[in-house]
């Protein structure tokens, strides 16, 4: 098992800097996720950890040992790819056995381990098949099995669920979490899906343009986003962002919170922290209802308030009609304030 350290890691391709000033410690047995939009450099981190690419400067440590010079095969890591990367010319059995064969383990030992992993993942009936004869979900399991069988120091997962359909993705997500609980091992996970990141991880690092915006447990990322970018990226539907110039019209005063310089603030409020009523109450914002989207457990309401769109949640049993007024009641203490120019959280 291993603790991973990234120290001042920079990575550029030609003139393009894809990662900068990366300083992180991923704890032993931790499920750690890098999340961010495409092109933020998250997959590059995995390639650096795996040794598929070399850092431009800085260092990667496994258990305090600098592994910069170690080729992938000597790092004792396993990787699950978005495309699964199963060897198409080998049967499932040989795909699972491959890493052990390369290490020249004894055939009986390999057989035992393959059947062991196949039992855990329910792959036993499929061992004689070729990858092309498997469904997406089955391929995903084989890819997981090929990683598990080695009992590596570190698991690297590059968007492993992205190629599955929505239902299977949620199922596999739960299964991954269960597997990690059963066989705890340092896992570095990469996804663009913030919900997946929240559901799976012990800690999350939100990446933007090659930089870590915030690193912490899911609750912290959601509850106290460190930057406006994190606030807008995490959470669904995304946070309402209100310009500081509208502060006088809001039922909250930042000066009460000890904040000055109101003109340079941005205010954020999550749709889940906004109730939309059909009758006016004190402290509600009066808006025109534009759109009502029922999603089952929640019904989201878009309203037009002072020229901007606000999203909130309908209160069950309180009927709203598009085109009619709706009254947005913002739960107290759920305000987020950000510095407009730097994007940093204040207060």
Partner 1 sequence: MSRSQSHERTTHFLFLAPAFLILGSVLLYPGISVLWLSLHRRLLIFDISRFVGLDNFAYLMQDARFWNAFGNTLYFTTVSVSAELLLGLGVAVLLHRAFRAKGLMRTVLLIPWAVPTVVSAKMWEWLYNPDFGLLNYLLGLRINWLGAPALALHAAILMDVWKTTPFVALLLMAGLQTIPGELYQAARIDGASPWMVFRTITLPLLKPVILVVLIFRTLDAFRVFDAVYVLTGGGPANTTETLSIYAYKVLFQTLQFGYGSAIAVTVFLFVGLTSLLYVRQLRGVTT
Partner 2 sequence: MKRFGFFAGLLLLTLFCLGPLVWQLITAFKPTAELTTLPPLLPSRPTLNHFAAIFAGHPFLRIIANSFVVAVACTVLSLAVGSLAAFALARLPIKRKGLILALVLCGSMFPPIATVSPLYMIIRTLAVRDTLLALILTYTSFALPLTIWVLTHFFRSIPRELYAAARIDGCTAFQSFRMVMLPLAVPGLVATAILVFIYSWNEFLFALTFTATAASRTIPVGIALFPGLHEVPWGEIAAASVVVTLPLLGLVFIFQRRIIEGLTAGAVKG
Residues at the interface with partner 1 (CB under 8 A): 54, 68-71, 74
In angstroms, how far is CA 280 from the centroid of its own chain?
Answer: 38
- Reported residue count of the chain is 347
Closest CB to partner 1 among 69 and 166? 69
> Residue 70 binds which entry of partner 1, partner 2, none, with Cβ cut-offs from 5 to 8 Å by kind?
partner 1
Closest CB to partner 1 among 68 and 253? 68
Nearest distance, CB of residue 71 and partner 2, angstroms: 7
For residue 215, the number of C-alpha atoms closer than 13 Å in the C-beta half-sphere is 14
Run of H or E including 251? none
Cα–Cα separations (whole angstroms), residue 121 to 116, 176, 190, 217 = 9, 11, 22, 28
Q: Does 78 help bind partner 2 (rule: CB under 8 A)?
A: yes
Q: Does 98 help bind partner 2 (rule: CB under 8 A)?
A: yes
Indicate the DSSP class of residue 227: B
> Residue 78 binds which entry of partner 1, partner 2, none, with Cβ cut-offs from 5 to 8 Å by kind?
partner 2
Surface-to-core class of residue 186, CB atoms within 10 Å of its CB (0-12 exposed, 13-18 middle, 19+ buried): buried
Closest CB to partner 1 among 78 and 274? 78
Nearest distance, CB of residue 304 and partner 2, angstroms: 47
Give the residue, chosen from 16, 38, 69, 89, that forms a contact with partner 2 under the rule CB under 8 A. 89
The residues in 235-254 that bind partner 2, with binding defined as CB under 8 A, are none
Q: Does 130 help bind partner 2 (rule: CB under 8 A)?
A: no
> Residue 160 binds which entry of partner 1, partner 2, none, with Cβ cut-offs from 5 to 8 Å by kind?
none
Residue 80: name the closest of 169, 141, 168, 135 by CA. 141
Cα–Cα separations (whole angstroms), residue 159 to 51, 83, 191, 194 = 18, 9, 5, 12
| Number of neighbouring beta carbons within 10 Å of residue 276 | 27
Q: Which residues bind partner 2 (CB under 8 A)?
A: 47, 50-52, 71-73, 75, 77-79, 81, 83, 85, 87-89, 98-99, 102-103, 146, 150, 156
């Amino acid at each position: 098992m291993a603790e991973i350290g990234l120290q001042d890691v920079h990575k550029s391709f030609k003139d393009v800097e894809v990662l900068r000033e990366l300083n992180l410690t991923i704890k032993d047995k931790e499920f750690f996720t890098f999340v961010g939009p495409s092109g933020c450099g998250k997959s590059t981190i995995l390639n650096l950890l795996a040794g598929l690419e070399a850092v431009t400067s800085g260092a990667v440590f496994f258990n305090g040992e600098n592994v910069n010079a170690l080729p992938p095969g000597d790092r004792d890591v396993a990787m699950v790819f978005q495309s699964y990367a199963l060897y198409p010319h080998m049967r499932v059995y040989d795909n699972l056995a491959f890493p052990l064969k390369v290490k020249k383990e004894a055939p009986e030992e390999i057989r035992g381990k393959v059947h062991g992993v196949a039992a855990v993942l329910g792959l036993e009936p499929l061992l004689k098949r070729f990858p092309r004869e498997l469904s997406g979900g089955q391929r995903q399991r084989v890819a997981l099995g090929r990683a598990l069988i080695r009992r590596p120091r570190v698991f690297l997962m590059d968007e492993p669920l992205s190629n599955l359909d929505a239902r299977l993705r949620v199922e596999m997500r739960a299964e991954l979490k269960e597997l990690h609980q059963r066989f705890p091992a340092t896992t570095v996970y990469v996804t663009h899906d913030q919900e997946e990141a929240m559901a799976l991880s012990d800690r999350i690092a939100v990446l933007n343009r090659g930089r870590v915006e915030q690193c912490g447990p899911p609750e912290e990322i959601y509850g106290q986003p460190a930057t406006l970018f994190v606030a807008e990226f995490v959470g669904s539907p995304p946070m309402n962002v209100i310009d500081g110039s509208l502060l006088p019209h809001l039922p909250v005063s930042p000066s009460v919170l000890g904040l000055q310089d109101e003109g340079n603030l941005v205010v954020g409020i999550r749709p889940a922290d906004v109730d939309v009523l059909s009758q006016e109450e004190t402290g509600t914002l009066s808006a025109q209802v534009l759109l009502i989207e029922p999603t089952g457990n929640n019904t989201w309401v878009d309203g037009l308030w002072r020229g901007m769109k606000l999203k909130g949640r309908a209160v069950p049993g309180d009927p709203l009609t598009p085109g009619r007024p709706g009254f947005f009641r913002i739960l107290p203490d759920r305000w987020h304030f950000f510095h407009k120019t730097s994007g940093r959280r204040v207060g």
